[in-house]
Amino acid sequence: DAGVIQSPRHEVTEMGQEVTLRCKPISGHDYLFWYRQTMMRGLELLIYFNNNVPIDDSGMPEDRFSAKMPNASFSTLKIQPSEPRDSAVYFCASSVTGTGIVTFFGQGTRLTVV
Amino acid sequence: KNQVEQSPQSLIILEGKNCTLQCNYTVSPFSNLRWYKQDTGRGPVSLTIMTFSENTKSNGRYTATLDADTKQSSLHITASQLSDSASYICVVTGGGYQGGKLIFGQGTELSVKP
């Protein structure tokens, strides 16, 4: 298995533009997570899904952020409109129930909003 | 408040030397504690996972300990190698859920010098 796949790896966009980050979890995993990592705050959970259903989105910073999981193999995190303070590395991760609770992370998307 | 604190923030050691990283947590109820290694520009990779009943767990040259009474964990690296240079993140899962509410420490930045 190729692991959790995220795209793009790097994104530079202008303030006010819409940004869409994509994630393909490991096949068969029923949990998908979106995290944000910054130097100041470390890793923060934004939202997670179980069987494609959003379970907890309390970590989503504000209404500018939205996440969807239309099927078991794809999820998106959208920021509209983007702001410079959204600059961070965004990680997608997945795990599967009952396997010893290992969470696998993708390589991350480094977002820079100028 | 559920928190995970790591020390030191950064550490420089010579190749071949041993080192120990510390993690204190206040997460309750406690489910498990994980140590992740994050290389620059990559996603975190799981090193060890320990539940309440486990005191120590090894993964090659990495040995993690857990004292659930004092809520402390350590990660010991033996005979360090240049490739050990990375950020080491302590992660605690609270409650019964396997992976949703991961609480991350800020990480220890380890640099191994020749």
pLDDT digits (tens, 9 = 90+) for A52-109: 999 888 889 889 999 999 999 999 999 999 999 999 999 999 987 654 457 889 999 9
Contact A31 B46 (CB under 8 A): no
Q: Which residues of A touch B33 (CB under 8 A)?
A: none
Contact B100 A31 (CB under 8 A): yes
Beta strand spans in chain B (E): 4-7, 10-14, 19-25, 30-38, 45-51, 56-59, 62-67, 72-77, 86-94, 102-104, 108-113
**How many whole angstroms separate alpha carbon A55 and alpha carbon B48?**
26
Instruction: Return the bridge partners of B67, or none.
Output: B72
Q: What SS3 state is found at A27?
A: coil
Cis geometry, peptide bond prior to residue A8 (ω within 30 degrees of 0): yes
Longest dimension (CA), chain A: 42
Contact B100 A108 (CB under 8 A): no
Q: Of A17, A44, A42, A41, whose CA–CA distance to A33 is shortest?
A: A44
Tokens 């504690």, located at residue: B33
User: Which pair of tokens denotes residue A24?
Assistant: 């393909």
- Quote the pLDDT of residue B41: 83
Portion 44-63 of B in contact with A at CB < 8 A: 44-46, 49
Q: Which residues of B48-79 are buried (b: 16+ CB within 10 A; e: fewer)?
A: bbbeeeeeebeeeebbbbbebeebebbbebee
**How many whole angstroms separate alpha carbon B54 and alpha carbon B57?**
8
Contact A104 B46 (CB under 8 A): yes
B58 residue type, one letter: S
Structure confidence by residue, pLDDT tens digits, B13-54: 999 999 999 999 998 777 789 999 999 888 899 899 888 888
- Pick from B43, B105, B107: which is nearest to A105 by CB? B43
Structure confidence by residue, pLDDT tens digits, A34-52: 999 998 888 888 998 989 9
Q: Which residues of B touch A56 (CB under 8 A)?
A: 100-101
Residue of B nearest to A33 (CA): B100
